[in-house]
Structure 1
Amino acid sequence: MDTGTEGDIAALRALVLARFPIFAQLPAARLDALLAQSPLRRVPAGSVLFEPNMPCTGFPLVLEGSVRVSKPAPNGRELVLYRVSPGEGCILSGACLLGQTEYSARGVAESDVMLLGIPSEQFHELILQHEPFRRFVFDMYGARLAEVMEAVEEIAFRRLDQRLAQLLIQRGPVVNATHQNLADELGSVREVVSRLLRGFEERGWVKLERERVTVVDPKSLAAFARG
């Protein structure tokens, strides 16, 4: 943790406990020791936190902002696997630490991010000795696995236009994203997504603007997404 005044340290302790109540069950002295050993990082939007084949040195806990974890392909495309929001940890980092492997995906700050990096040694100690933390980590494994299985099912069994419609419904009514962002989210390419969006606009379902899609007929779009 970065050194600072007692007020700064107290504010960080309060923020960590607010985002991760599981640490309230740690003795105060042990929590303070954990915070002292864990680097606090502030990274601007767009920063790459990790890449495939990079070693993993800690377990990041997101305090503010959002991190997008995706699988890049050699042709430049990527498939979004999941996002890490405040109050969550990066489960891929946990898997790398437990399996002693390198990263197999990319992590990018979608917004300005503040995170606390629990070092590998302290991560393993918490897994072994602190049941609430262990349960927190494995609950996240279960939730992320369910998300990935749902994504695989979507890609395998639903048409791209239906998946795009569903994505717009979920993120609407105003989706601030480029066509490339939406393509990355769906594991597709910009040209195909742009063509589908123009088709939606011609039907009167959406309005297209620069880096923005506005859903104007959510009922029809949702019915199309359901097939």
Structure 2
Amino acid sequence: MADWIEQFPGLSRLDGDLRETLVRQSRVVEVPQGTVIFGPGKAPENLLLLLAGVVRVQQVAENGREIVLYRVHAHESCVLTTACLLAYEDYSAEGIAETDVTAVAIPRSVFDEMIARSADFRRFVFTAYSRRITDLFMVIEEIAFRRLDLRLAAKLLERKDAAGDVLLTHHQLATELGTAREVVSRQLQEFIRRGWVTAGRGRVHVTDAEALGEFAHSA
């Protein structure tokens, strides 16, 4: 897949020799669904640029509670990896392949060289970095200041498929929202009582998306 660079406009503008160096020294990798790509205490070896698939980045507290920080989709890079590469620090969270993933792996040595030599590469890296940092601030604001019931309603609408099904367990929903499974279960019971959703094993079905949406945006 020598043409992968065309999927990233910021990189396709690189000068000829820099572009050739980047393509020649990087490699395309396939990562199966469920693979832990990185984790706390490990140093990043590559910057991954996703060509296909989704990577979930989550934080695990000492008490075992998890929270999803963000997801990396096709044509994006991981802000945590970028930060660790720039600061020469180990990871503080884990990244898991939520689907089968195809990505370009840019080795640390190549990353360092490109950062030093190319203004276009620096612009590409820091533009992606700044966008994701903004997203992270929004996550923090949601957790700190927005009611859990409103966040759960919005999350159900975000994750439902065309049939109205949310194929997540109560534990997975709690991880998405940074709370306890028991809290999610109690709130889902209230949504069921109101007739907005039904629940089964490993799934929630949205029966009244309009009412759920009005509630999610009510405050």
Please say whether Structure 1 and Structure 2 have the same fold, judged by a TM-score greater than 0.5.
yes
Q: Using the TM superposition, name which of 111-120 and 206-215 deviates more.
A: 206-215
1:63 to 45, 51, 55: 51
Shift of 1:46: 0.8
1:163 aligns with 2:154: no
Structure 1 unpaired stretches of 5+: 1-11
The residue number in structure 1 matching 2:135 is 147
Provide closer, same or farther for how the CA distance between residues 145 and 27 of structure 1 changes in structure 2, counting only shifts above 3 A: closer
Aligned partner letter, 1:122: V
- Within the alignment, does 1:211 sit opposite 2:199 as a pair? no
Distance in 2, Cα, partners of 1:132 & 1:175: 41
- Match of 1:81, SS state, is strand
CA distance in 2, matches of 1:178, 1:134: 40
**Identical columns (%):** 46
Aligned residue for 2:172? 181
Alignment match, 2:182: 191
TM-superposed deviation, 1:161: 1.1
Task: Kindly state the Cα deviation for residue 215 of structure 1 after the two structures are TM-superposed.
Answer: 1.7
Aligned residues: 215
Letter of the structure 2 residue corresponding to residue 137 of structure 1: V
Say whether 1:13 aligns with 2:20: no
CA distances 1:98-120 after superposition (whole Å, capped 9, x unpaired) = 11111111000000011111111
Residue 175 of structure 1 contacts residue 212 of structure 1 at CA under 8 Å; is this kept in 2?
A: yes
Q: 1:127 offset after TM fit, Å?
A: 2.1
Instruction: Report the alpha carbon displacement of residue 32 of structure 1 after superposing the two structures with TM.
Output: 4.0
Mapping 1:55-94, distance limit 5 Å: 55-94=43-82
State the Cα distance separating 1:211 from its structure 2 match.
2.1
CA distance in 1, matches of 2:153, 2:25: 46
Matched, 1:116 2:107: no
Unaligned residue ranges in structure 2 (runs of 5+): none
